[in-house]
Amino acid sequence: MRRLIYLLVIAVAAPARGAVDATLVAKIDATARAVGWADWDRDGDLDLAIGAGSDVLVYRNHHGVLTLAYSTHTDGVWDLAWGDVNGDGASDLAIGGPTSISILINNGSGTGWDESYVVMETGAAAAVHGVAFGDVDGDQDLDLAASAWN
């Protein structure tokens, strides 16, 4: 089965509820389980990360035009989330996969990653299907939540 990613521009007419207009702006042929937006290259445009099978694909957005800028192979991508883990102002990427949770640390130039960390090995018995960042304890740094099931 082939999966496609549809990028839509959605406009909601205010104040009328339910008045939604969606315009297809791109269609990417990828076997994707996860997608997320962040300004990866720090140019002011939101870039797109896609978890496609065992690959993480990052598409650079240059004034509304998406081009593949980076890809890396992992043990599998079930979910991903952007967040500034180390407080340097650059968006880092957490990846939930079939056996682990990993974090890619952005090099700050929009060309790749400085480091990659496996935060937790879950083993084959617990695939990580959801990851999300938030400041749970109010200490001004991001915490990571993950959901797993087997």
Q: How far apart are CA 44 and CA 69, in angstroms?
A: 16
Q: Assign 62 to helix, strand or coil.
A: strand
Residue 84 near residue 91 (C-beta atoms within 8 A): yes
pLDDT (tens digit per residue) in 44-62: 999 999 898 888 989 898 8
Distances (CA, A) of 128 to 13, 82, 85: 37, 16, 19
pLDDT (tens digit per residue) in 84-112: 999 999 999 999 998 888 999 999 888 88
Q: Tokens at residue 118, please? A: 């496996």
For residue 94, count CB atoms less than 10 angstroms from its CB and return exposed for 0-12, middle for 13-18, buried for 19 or more: buried
